[in-house]
């Protein structure tokens, strides 16, 4: 039923929506976003077809992919995470996590809610103490990603934070010279990898 080709087409098609949104927000991204989203969604499909996790989890990494790729590209280029995508990610991922909870148990819902509060709150605290270290866009993004991370299991909150920090350091060291370091790509890649490869936590 779920074929890699269908997922590739869906990924490319999603860019027809996300790219114009970012353009209107003053953060246009490359047309390669369509190809990157397609590849990432194919990876999600293949992971599902391998039997790594049940069908009710599929919507979570799929929806996350649609938002993660364009947001990561925008943050890399402009050091911005536009509200036009970070805010709609909340209801979109809430629906996906609701589907997961329906199939996997109510514990997924509670972990997601608490994860959003804990992960989002921690980033909000860092931003309040040192606004130059962490932008407001990162704080808005952290809540939805915290929900996904916690849904895969509480250890993922710590793993996600550590992996995101390491990726941000790698960008600071190996990326082009810039007065600020984008934290969004690290957060997004870490959350995506854990959603795809760790899968859902216990229901």
pLDDT digits (tens, 9 = 90+) for 138-185: 999 999 999 999 999 999 999 999 999 999 999 888 766 667 789 999
pLDDT value of residue 203: 63
Whole-number CA gyration radius for the chain: 16
CB burial of 49-78 (b: ≥16 within 10 Å; e: otherwise) equals: eeeebeebbbbbbbbbbbbbbbbbbbbbeb
**What number is the average pLDDT over the span 119-126?**
97
pLDDT digits (tens, 9 = 90+) for 7-50: 999 999 999 999 999 999 999 999 999 999 999 999 999 999 99
Residue 83 contacts by C-beta under 8 Å, 6 or more apart in sequence? Answer: 25, 137, 140
pLDDT digits (tens, 9 = 90+) for 47-72: 999 999 999 999 999 999 999 999 99
- Reported as type and span, the H/E element at residue 185 is helix 184-197
| pLDDT of residue 136 exceeding 80 | yes
Token code pair at residue 161: 């934070």
pTM listed for this prediction? 0.95
| pLDDT of residue 6 exceeding 80 | yes
pLDDT value of residue 157: 96
| pLDDT of residue 114 exceeding 90 | yes
- In whole angstroms, give the CA distance from residue 45 to residue 131: 38
- In whole angstroms, give the CA distance from residue 18 to residue 181: 23
């Amino acid at each position: 039923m779920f074929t890699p080709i269908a997922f590739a087409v869906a990924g490319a098609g999603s860019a027809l929506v996300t790219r114009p949104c970012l353009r209107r927000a003053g953060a246009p991204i490359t047309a390669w976003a369509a190809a990157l989203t397609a590849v990432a969604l194919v990876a999600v499909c293949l992971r599902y077809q391998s039997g790594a996790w049940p069908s009710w989890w599929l919507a979570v990494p799929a929806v996350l992919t649609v938002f993660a790729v364009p947001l990561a590209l925008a943050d890399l280029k402009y050091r911005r995470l536009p509200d036009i995508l970070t805010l709609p990610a909340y209801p979109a991922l809430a629906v996906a996590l609701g589907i997961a909870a329906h199939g996997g148990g109510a514990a997924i819902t509670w972990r997601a809610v608490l994860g959003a509060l804990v992960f989002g709150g921690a980033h909000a605290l860092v931003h309040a103490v040192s606004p130059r270290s962490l932008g407001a866009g990162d704080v808005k993004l952290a809540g939805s990603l915290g929900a996904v991370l916690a849904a895969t299991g509480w250890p993922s909150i710590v793993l996600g934070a550590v992996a995101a920090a390491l990726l941000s350091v790698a960008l600071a060291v190996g990326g082009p010279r810039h007065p600020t370091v984008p934290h969004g790509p690290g957060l997004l890649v870490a959350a995506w990898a854990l959603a795809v490869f760790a899968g859902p936590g216990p229901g």
